């Protein structure tokens, strides 16, 4: 489907994702921007569906983000509907952007019987162009007629932009002896940085859990998953991550996040979120190498994460990895520029199994041949110990190749 060179980390196939009781969906070709492909997805959660969400921290968010933030708190008796289009982000087009979300939500309310103000909307694509909502609303009647409990792969494809493959993950957990299912899809390839990214992700479960518990789970787990990845340090205007529970499973309602019955579910949810986050970073625009940066010995976990992100976002580090150059000097530079406590003579730097630098100088037994051989690997591990405290963090990134420039230079053409 994508016109871009496939990621070397693309999976061989989309996962087999089972139906989830209480959810149906459909896709359509609305013609928002693309020709000959689907670009619209609607998912309907049965009455009583609970929802939680986290959104971009960009201070210039899109109208769909503003709308969905408010929609989370709407108490609706009818179905919960998620509407996602690709092709335009519906951002920074003034009142036209606002009008488009209202028209879209009203169209869903008219056709699906949902409360307009509770409709959850997402858009992804070009910034600065208003969404023509009539292209979406024209599809809703036919989509309602074609709703199915299947179609996760179709949904993942419909929301893609520069992605080179559809992204999905599935897992299950046991609550009160009842097995519950968790399915998730995501899109994202560029403009990826914490808080969250040009990233859309939707996770659904049949578990019987209320919205306040879902919100705590999602907010707690996003830090080590979607907010631990970076392609290019750019935080999008459209980031949206939704977690929906149909409450169709036959177990007692969970209303306390500390309920021990949640333990298995928490672990399974984290696996789904982490899986989707890793798929996004491994489809980074122009990627040829996956980078894992582990920071230890920092004064705090927060400080460690900031230093890790400084390394993962450094164009000089990223291009060195692309060029298979074990240039540890660039790593030291990125540590020092992070603005966090660091002492040159206490640092140690590893690339893979090789100790490159320590005590303010090159490690005595390191050889360039060792580093060059390791840098040929597809996955690169960078480890820095600051020797100052117990703070630690792991972040995930990718290299920077000329294809990243090619993709973003002609994105609107």
Strand (E) or helix (H) holding 385: strand 379-385
Mean pLDDT computed over 124-136: 92
Q: How far apart are CA 185 and CA 275, in angstroms?
A: 10
The model's pLDDT over 21-69, given as tens digits with 9 standing for 90+, comes to 999 999 999 999 989 999 999 999 999 999 999 998 777 788 999 999 9
Mean pLDDT computed over 259-283: 96
Candidates 166, 163, 160, 206; CA nearest to 15 is 166
Cα 20 to Cα 49, 207, 318, distances in angstroms: 12, 10, 40
Token pair for 240: 């949206």
Number of alpha carbons in the 13 Å side-chain half-sphere of residue 208: 14
Domain ranges (residues) in the chain: 23-281, 290-409
Could you tell me how far CA 265 lies from the centroid of its own chain? 20
Mean pLDDT computed over 189-204: 64
Cβ atoms of 109 and 119 within 8 Å: the answer is: yes
Token pair for 179: 């097995």
Number of neighbouring beta carbons within 10 Å of residue 196: 28
Just give the CATH number of 23-281.
3.60.70.12
Report the mean per-residue pLDDT for the chain: 92
Q: CA angle, corner 81, sides to 101 and 54, nearest 5? A: 75
pLDDT of 234 higher than 70: no
Residues identified as active-site: 198
Residue linked to tokens 């090619």: 406
- Domain 290-409 sits in CATH 2.160.10.10: no
Confidence of residue 156 (pLDDT cuts 50, 70, 90): very high
DSSP secondary structure, 124-187, as one string? EEETT----HHHHHTTHHHHHHT-BS--HHHHHHHT-SS-SS-EEEEEEEEETTEEEEEEEEEE
């Amino acid at each position: 489907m994508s016109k871009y060179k496939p990621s070397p980390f693309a999976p061989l196939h989309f996962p087999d994702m089972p139906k989830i009781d209480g959810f149906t969906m459909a896709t359509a070709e609305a013609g928002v921007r693309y020709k000959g492909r689907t670009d619209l997805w609607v998912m309907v959660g049965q009455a009583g569906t609970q929802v939680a969400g986290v959104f971009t921290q960009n201070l210039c968010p899109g109208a769909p983000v503003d709308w969905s933030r408010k929609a989370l708190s709407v108490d609706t008796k009818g179905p919960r509907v998620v509407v996602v289009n690709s092709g335009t982000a519906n951002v920074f087009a003034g009142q036209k952007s606002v009008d488009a979300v209202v028209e879209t939500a009203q169209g869903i309310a008219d056709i699906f019987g949902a409360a307009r103000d509770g409709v959850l909307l997402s858009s992804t694509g070009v910034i600065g162009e208003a969404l023509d909502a009539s292209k979406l609303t024209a599809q809703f009647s036919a989509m309602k007629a074609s709703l199915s409990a299947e179609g996760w792969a179709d949904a993942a494809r419909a929301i893609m932009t520069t992605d080179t493959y559809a992204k999905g993950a599935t897992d299950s957990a046991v609550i009160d002896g009842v097995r519950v299912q968790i399915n998730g899809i995501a899109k994202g390839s560029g403009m990826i940085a914490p808080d969250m990214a040009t990233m859309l992700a939707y996770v659904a479960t049949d578990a019987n859990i209320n919205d306040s518990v879902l919100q705590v789970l999602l907010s707690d787990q996003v830090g080590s998953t979607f907010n631990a990845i970076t392609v290019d340090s750019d935080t999008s205007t459209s980031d949206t991550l939704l977690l929906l529970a149909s409450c169709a499973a036959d177990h007692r309602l969970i209303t306390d996040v500390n309920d021990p019955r949640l333990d298995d579910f928490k672990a399974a949810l984290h696996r789904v979120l982490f899986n989707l986050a890793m798929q996004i970073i491994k489809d980074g625009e122009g990627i040829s190498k996956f980078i894992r940066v582990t920071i230890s010995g920092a004064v705090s976990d927060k400080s460690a994460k900031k230093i890790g992100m400084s390394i993962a976002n450094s164009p000089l580090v990223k291009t060195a990895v692309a060029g298979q150059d074990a240039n540890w000097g660039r790593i030291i530079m990125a540590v020092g520029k992070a603005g966090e406590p660091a002492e040159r003579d206490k640092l140690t730097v590893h690339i893979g199994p090789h100790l490159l630098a320590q005590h303010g100088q090159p490690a005595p037994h390191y050889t360039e041949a060792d580093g060059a051989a390791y840098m040929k690997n597809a996955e690169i591990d960078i480890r820095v110990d600051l020797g100052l405290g117990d703070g630690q963090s792991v972040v995930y990134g990718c290299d920077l190749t000329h294809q990243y420039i090619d993709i973003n230079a002609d994105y609107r053409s």
